[in-house]
A and B are shown apart, each in its own frame.
Chain A
Amino acid sequence: MIRFDSVSKRYPGGREALSNLSFRVETGEMAFVTGHSGAGKTTLLKLIALIERPTGGAIEVGGQNLARVKRGGVARLRRGIGMVFQDHRLLMDRSVADNVALPLVIAGMPREERARRVRAALDKVGLGGRGGDAPAALSAGEQQRVGIARAIAGRPALIIADEPTGNLDPQLAEEIMRLFVGLREAGTTILIASHDLPLLKRMKQRAIVLDHGRLIDDVPASEVA
């Protein structure tokens, strides 16, 4: 599903955020991207969703070479990806339900089905009944879960989540991770950036470890202790 081939990324005027990175994530696989702050986790996810373009190497997502994706194709690519952002990226002047519905609106889904999916997604992240609230009336952890609901509502084939449990207490964090595991069992490919090592250990999933933009370890699920 995802394939990085000697990928490098240097931000204009900055140092190299990712260097010569190569790995694959198979369809239906779940993997964590981990590493210290500034290691390049967010950058890696941004390259997958074409929020940034690599300065070297090649990336393939869903069999598609991202270098060949032109302007119009970017939106199409993103519609197939559910993305959870580190900074939530909610529309603060819309209701929680409207936020979750946004990808479904963009996909042109009928109203009733939209409402049903929004409700289901909010239930899954433990926010059933909060659909009418404004995001500003929610705690940071609740806002984060709205972002997760938005990413899963469209039932995308690929989910990339940037620190999705950063604002959650350990128990809620594990519940959300179990939710992702459930989605993976239903066939979704999932890539999660997280620096919560204890949580990673409990989840027993593959871990791609970055250090200063370099891949220093790729631990298969079976070896996570």
Chain B
Amino acid sequence: MNARAATTAPRGRPRLAAWRRQHAWCLRDSLHQLARRPFGTALTIVVMGLALSLPLAFYLLLANVQHLSGALGESQSVSVFLKPSITMDTAESLAQDLRARADVAEVTIRTPRQGLAELAAVQGFGEALHALPANPLPYVLLVQPRKGLDRAQAGAMVQALRALPQVDLVQDDGQWRARLDALIALGRRATLLLAVLLGAAAVLVIGNTVRLDIRTRADEIAVQQLVGASASFVRRPYLYEGVWYGLAAGIVAVLLVLLLEAVLAAPVRELVASYAGRLQFGGLPSTALLLTPLCAAALGWLGAWLASTRHLLRPSP
């Protein structure tokens, strides 16, 4: 059509303005459509919000466990408890021998007196210790392995320490740290997997919701097409719909995790206090708070895009 038709698309800048106005209309229309069935919309959003909050909660948990384990000491040091009969001289010469080993970086001696003082500093122990007739603690050598030892080498070192005749007990702090680190790494993978699965679920749920919406509004779509709506115009409100669903679900997920944080804050603070304030409960970083709704919105868009591609863009005659 040409002639003086006022409805044909204008060129250049006015065309851009027209495009913007179409978007504004579709945006408002999509919100309007969601608001027409508030219960269904809210239900979908809350269910998806719950699903999306799961990986966030796991993430929060892991971050704090990691934080905790970090605060409990970066040390990989091995505590070597000597036999009670060992004297200061023997302890020192043994320490000297150990320092000569290639796999040892540093050896510190902790005397029974130091050990007792340390114990006394821990709340509640002071009184009990005063009641002891003599210091029951042995000399302890804190052996710091050389940096960069692998698991097998560290194990060999611990074995060698255990075999020494002067040694009563070897406590390998590094080992439980290594185990914890492995657990945390496993947890991270599981969380990532969970996030991917639930993200895919969100795409499918939104896609299905949009598909149903397209079906119930088939008559409206037909009329729009009859009066000249392009495929992209017809599709746009549904894409917006997907984005709103995702965005709202992401915000719900973040709010749920913030609620979880608030609920956990008090007991965690007590736990932290028992560690003499060296620990702090870490909340979700603000980037995660911001990124979650944005990613969820992107997932919603994807779901709506898939649904509208499949169910809307049928070839016209």
- The answer to whether A binds B is yes
Instruction: Number of B interface residues at 8 Å Cβ cutoff, please give it.
Output: 33
A76-B9, A108-B17, A109-B21 are contacts. A103–B227 as well, Cβ < 8 Å? yes
CB 8 Å contact bits of B1-32 with A (1 = contact, 0 = none): 11111111100000101111110010000000
Residues in A whose Cβ lies below 8 Å from that of B5: 79-80, 154-157
Set A89, A109, A154: member contacting B223, Cβ < 8 A: A89
Chain A: CB-nearest residue to B222: A89
Interface membership of B43, Cβ < 8 A: no
With A51-B317, A107-B9, A107-B18 already in contact, the answer to whether A75 and B230 are too (CB < 8 A) is yes
B8: A residues at CB distance < 8 A: 76, 79-80, 107
**Chain B 196-234 interface mask (CB, 8 Å, partner A; 1/0):** 000000000000000000000001101111111111010
Instruction: Verify if B286 is at the interface (C-beta below 8 Å from A).
Output: no
Q: Does A203 sit at the interface, judged by CB under 8 A?
A: no
Cα–Cα, bound, A49→B21 (Å): 26
User: For residues 150 through 166 of chain A, which have their beta carbon under 8 Å from a beta carbon of chain B?
Assistant: 150, 154-158
Does A183 touch B at the CB level, under 8 Å?
no
A61→B1 contact, CB < 8 A = yes
Which listed residue (A91, A154, A155) contacts B220, Cβ 8 A?
Answer: A91
Query: Are the CB atoms of B21 and A108 closer together than 8 Å?
Result: yes
Contacts of B123 in A (CB 8 A): none
- Considering only CB atoms, which chain B residue lies closest to A187 in the complex? B4
Closest to A62 in B: B1
CB within 8 Å for A52 and B3 given contacts A79-B228, A106-B224, A107-B18: no
Q: Is A83 an interface residue (CB 8 A)?
A: yes
Contact of A75 among B222, B229, B317 (CB under 8 A): B229
CA distance in complex: A150, B64 (Å): 62
Number of A-B contacts (CB under 8 A): 123
With a cutoff of 8 Å between Cβ atoms, the chain B residues found around residue A63 in the complex are 2
| Number of A residues, CB within 8 Å of B | 43
Let me know if B1 and A108 touch, CB within 8 A: no
| A134 interfacial contact with B, CB 8 Å | no
Task: Kindly provide the distance from the CB of A147 to the nearest chain B CB, expressed in whole angstroms.
Answer: 10
Which of A75, A91, A105 is in CB contact (< 8 Å) with B25? A105
Closest partner residue, chain B, to A108 (CB atom) = B18
Output the nearest chain B residue to A88 by Cβ-Cβ distance.
B223
Q: Is A157's CB under 8 angstroms from B1's CB? A: yes
Distance in angstroms from B27 CB to nearest chain A CB is: 12
- For the complex, what is the distance from the CA of A62 to the CA of B8, rounded to whole Å? 13
Assembly CA distance A106 to B226 (angstroms) = 11
Q: Does B133 contact A (CB under 8 A)?
A: no
- A204 contacts B by Cβ under 8 Å: no
| Complex-state Cα separation, A75 to B225, whole angstroms | 7
**Within the assembled complex, what's the spacing in Å between the Cα atoms of A71 and B316?**
6
With an 8 A cutoff between CB atoms, is B315 at the interface?
yes
A50-B317, A79-B8, A91-B220 given; A72·B230 CB < 8 A: yes
* B7 close to A79 (CB less than 8 A): yes
Assess whether A108 is in contact with B22, with CB atoms less than 8 Å apart: yes
Residues of A within 8 A of B229 (CB): 75, 106
Bound complex: CA A81 to CA B219 (Å): 20
The minimal Cβ–Cβ distance linking B35 to chain A, given in whole angstroms, is: 13
Chain A residues near B227 (CB, 8 Å)? 78-79, 83, 102-103, 106, 150
**8 Å CB interface, A89-140 against B:** 89-91, 93, 102-111
- In the complex, chain B residues whose CB is within 8 Å of the CB of A212: none
Among the listed B233, B316, B317, which residue makes an inter-chain contact with A106, where contact means beta carbons less than 8 Å apart?
B233
Q: A61-B1, A75-B225, A157-B1 are in contact. Are A103 and B7 (CB under 8 A)?
A: yes
A contact set with B: CB distance below 8 Å:
27, 49-53, 61-64, 71-72, 74-81, 83, 85, 89-91, 93, 102-111, 150, 154-158, 187
User: Can you list 7 contacts pairing A with B, beta carbon distance less than 8 Å?
Assistant: A64-B1, A76-B9, A80-B5, A83-B226, A109-B7, A154-B7, A158-B1
**Nearest 10 interchain pairs by C-beta:** A80-B1, A108-B18, A79-B228, A157-B3, A78-B228, A154-B7, A107-B7, A75-B230, A157-B5, A62-B1
